[in-house]
Structure 1
């Protein structure tokens, strides 16, 4: 199920769109079609200034770039942490990731990354390969007024959907 969830200025969560697809079709073409439908339905120009937070699923980034040129692309910090846990476990790794992501200015981000580097060089190098403009607050453009770096709103929406399925 492809889902797009929005957050209004009062932090209200609302589902924009959803589509059910075969697992095999979660490709760039499928995502492009889905995003173009949202763009058409909401009458958004390709240069609309907003943020898209996603879990780096295959095919979605090229589709986002094609459909929404000016949108800021962010990776969900929770998914970055889940991927990190495949190699490095423990609360300290989550702590270092969260501290770096939450830094509000680049020098503070650099300081937090240096602390992480001293703690674990391999994990630091792994994280350094992920462009910070997609996950670190200090690198967000500020064009769209939000400092959100989690897609919890999708999880909330999905949990409501699961409850509805169970109640049927």
Structure 2
């Protein structure tokens, strides 16, 4: 497990790492507890903290527990892999990435509309409200 940060020059540097026997809910809870101690700050006053991760359930719960005011986003590589595995359709995957790179809500909704013409993707989108919830009705 590891946590990295971005400095003022945009460079990524390691904050913490741990070697565990298995990626589990308990290990994520422990790791983020230790990360919070390392940062030594009151997490309630940390609105600018952004955590990007894969969508492991234990990690999601640990972020909610230890960094409740942080924004928690999911790495689009993992999200797109989940989308690809669910739908197994190259056209839909291409439309997904077009939607991701949309610059306006209208453009995003148009791409989602194009996806809906191919297959009903709304139930899948509703699994990812942190990413798409603000756009998908």
TM class, shorter-length = 0.7 to 0.9
Helix, strand or coil at the partner of 2:3: strand
Cα distance, 1:21 vs. partner? 0.9
Helix, strand or coil at the partner of 2:40: coil
Q: Provide the rounded CA distance (Å) in 1 between the counterparts of 2:96 and 2:36.
A: 33
In structure 2, which of residues 106, 131, 136 is the aligned counterpart of residue 135 of structure 1?
131
Q: Provide the rounded CA distance (Å) in 1 between the counterparts of 2:109 and 2:82.
A: 22
Residue 42 of structure 1 is matched in structure 2 by 39
Q: Specify whether residues 81 and 131 from structure 1 end up closer, same or farther in structure 2 by C-alpha distance, changes over 3 A only.
A: closer
Cα distance, 1:31 vs. partner? 1.4
Residue 5 of structure 1 is matched in structure 2 by 4
Structure 1 runs (4+) deviating above 4 angstroms are: none
Q: In the alignment, is the contact (CA less than 8 A) between 1:52 and 1:74 conserved in 2?
A: yes
In structure 2, which of residues 24, 27, 33 is the aligned counterpart of residue 26 of structure 1?
24
Q: Provide the rounded CA distance (Å) in 2 between the counterparts of 1:80 and 1:72.
A: 17
- Superposition TM-score, scaled by structure 2 size: 0.81
Residue 115 of structure 1 is matched in structure 2 by 114
Helix, strand or coil at the partner of 2:30: helix
Q: In the alignment, is the contact (CA less than 8 A) between 1:106 and 1:139 conserved in 2?
A: no
Give the paired residue count.
Answer: 133
Cα distance, 1:73 vs. partner? 1.0
Helix, strand or coil at the partner of 2:72: strand
